[in-house]
Amino acid sequence: MKACQEVRIPPVSPQKPQILAVIGQGYVGLPLAMAAVDAGWTVIGVDNFEAKVAQINGGSSPVEDILDAQLQAAITKGFYKATADYSAVSQASVITICVPTPLDDMREPDLTLLRNAATGIAPFVSNETLVVSESTSYPGTLRDIIIPIINSHKPKDSLTVYFASAPERVNPGDPVWNQKNTPRLVGSIDKESQQRAIAFYESICDAAVSVSTPEVAEAAKLLENTFRLVNIALINEFTQLCYASGLNVQEVIDAASSKPYGFMPFRPGVGVGGHCIPVDPLYLTWWARQKGGIAALIESADSINTAMPKYVAERALSMVDQNIKNPKVLILGVAYKTGVGDVRETPVSKLRDYLKSQGANVAWHDPLVPLWEDSNSIDLDWHCDVAILATNQPGMNLEKLITRGVKILDCTNSLIGKAGVSSL
């Protein structure tokens, strides 16, 4: 790996090379690493999953938004390398932490991976390094968890370490908004940290938005995703009311959307999935409880979305001849959203489980997910009594099913008016 790229960006730390270490090479970390390479940084991608490190160094991207060719070019030019060795971060002037922040079995924040990452890098954080947390978490995570871990394990001669929170807002698979053109929130613990963090993000993003504290940045990220959760729940609940009343919810949403202000359309679906929308709002409800409050609206929204797979399953089963005891149900699209192969927290999991609990024989098809929970994507030729379009993935030949006269419950609003299709 080259010492660093030819400097063409303003230095974040004047005495240090323009080397960035990104901890976690997943949906957030790898695109960030590539954006930084594009911007003139030399990047070390640190991931504790050795097989992933080997895959990435072999030039094969594990995420859809990064093409193998882009990754290979960065590696070949010596501007990027992945490693499982935390000691590599000692060369960096900036370290960003991009590891998962999931829920535990009690559906409460699980910061184990974040703590492990902070503990792993701490002994190698050199003097004058900027450490940024990009992982989504509740307000106070940087100040109360990450900073104490790093300060108590950093090298003795690392007298000055700067800290900021800059939650990632990337939307994987989005053809318009990416890490470069999405404004980045930045909140730091002091003025010097903020100057460096803003300089860093201005070097890789079109705009960095300065906020007064890390807690404001952390809370804003949770607000953004909770806004989506609550509005999706509203439309999922409203959909059930409309169906029970014989109204076409899509037509109602289209009608409301003609109002030029004060309304934003959300569409119904099987529920919410992915690492963010089902998870982050529960960081907020947990945080509210720590402060002695209850975020009742958010908890209610979570319950409505969690119950959607059962509602969808019942709607689909009602389309089948009731004399068939074990109907064959084909689920189309198991990833949590279109255009990605990401099945984390996919609501289709609950949909499948509920269908099975009702005696259905369930198979699934997803061109972007060849293997899911020990079963394989099945061919569209599979004979079924009803199909559920859960996620409209590119490359799915739905016309084939429609031509065959298969009954389809469309949860994606993409087959309007087609023969045999019912909309949610």
Ligand X SMILES: NC(=O)c1ccc[n+]([C@@H]2O[C@H](COP(=O)([O-])OP(=O)(O)OC[C@H]3O[C@@H](n4cnc5c(N)ncnc54)[C@H](O)[C@@H]3O)[C@@H](O)[C@H]2O)c1
Active-site residue numbers?
276
The contacts of residue 79 (CB under 8 Å, 6+ apart) are 1, 2, 5, 37, 41, 42, 43
273 forms part of the interface with ligand X (CB under 6 A): no
What residues from 57 to 86 belong to the interface with ligand X (CB under 6 A)?
A: none
Residue 113 sits in the site that holds ligand X (CB under 6 A): yes
The order of strands in the sheet holding 386-389 is 361-365, 328-332, 386-389, 408-410, 421-423
Is the Cα dihedral 244, 249, 251, 252 positive or negative?
A: positive
* C-beta closer to ligand X: residue 218 or 385: 218
Does 47 bind ligand X (CB under 6 A)? Our answer is: yes
Q: Does the protein bind ligand X through residue 133 (CB under 6 A)?
A: no
When the beta carbons of 185 and 406 are compared against ligand X, the nearer one is 185
Q: Which of 79, 77, 57, 59 is nearest to 69 (CA)?
A: 59
The encoded tokens of residue 97 equal 């932490």
Is residue 136 involved in binding ligand X (CB under 6 A)?
yes
One residue of 154, 184, 275, 365 binding ligand X per CB under 6 A: 275
Nearer to ligand X, 223 or 241 (CB): 223
Smallest gap from residue 315 Cβ to ligand X (A): 28
Site membership for ligand X, residue 166 (CB under 6 A):
no
Closest distance to ligand X from the beta carbon of 135 (Å): 3
Alpha helices in 1-138 (DSSP H): 29-39, 50-57, 68-76, 112-121
Residues 223, 227, 229, 231, Cα dihedral to 10°: 170
Say whether residue 90 binds ligand X (CB under 6 A).
no
Which residue in this structure is represented by tokens 């690492």?
A: 275
One residue of 168, 237, 385, 410 binding ligand X per CB under 6 A: 168
Give the nearest distance from C-beta 233 to ligand X in angstroms. Answer: 19
Instruction: Work out which of 116, 182, 306, 338 binds ligand X, going by CB under 6 A.
Output: 116
CB of residue 173 to ligand X, shortest distance in Å: 9
Nearer to ligand X, 85 or 190 (CB): 85
Alpha-helical segments (H) within 1-156: 29-39, 50-57, 68-76, 112-121, 141, 147-153
**In this structure, what is the dihedral angle of CA atoms 22, 337, 110, 168, given to the nearest 10 degrees?**
40
Closer residue to ligand X, CB minimum distance, 87 or 397? 87
Per-residue interface string for the shown chain with ligand X, residues 202-241, x marking contact by CB under 6 A: ----------------------------------------
Q: Distance (Å, rounded) from C-alpha 71 to C-alpha 84?
A: 17
Please pick, from the candidates 45, 109, 139, 172, the single residue that binds ligand X as defined by CB under 6 A: 172
Which residues, other chains included, contact 97 with Cβ-Cβ below 8 Å and sequence gap of 6+? 23, 24, 114, 117, 118, 121, 131, 132, 133, 134, 135, 146
Question: According to the binding rule CB under 6 A, does residue 117 interact with ligand X?
Answer: yes
Query: In this structure, is the dihedral angle defined by the CA atoms of residues 89, 61, 347 and 358, taken in order, positive or negative?
Result: negative
Q: How far is the CB of 339 from ligand X (least distance, A)?
A: 12
Question: Does 135 contact ligand X by CB under 6 A?
Answer: yes
Residue 326 neighbours by CB distance under 10 Å: 10
Nearer to ligand X, 221 or 365 (CB): 221
Asked if 120 is part of the footprint of ligand X (rule: CB under 6 A), the reply reads yes
* One-letter identity of residue 256: A
Say whether residue 139 binds ligand X (CB under 6 A).
no
CA distances from 106 to 103, 144, 286, 289, 373 (A): 7, 22, 11, 14, 22
- 170 DSSP assignment: -
Nearer to ligand X, 145 or 402 (CB): 145
Instruction: Give the interface with ligand X as residue ranges (CB under 6 A).
Output: 23-29, 46-49, 52, 98-101, 113, 116-117, 120, 135-136, 168-170, 172, 275-276
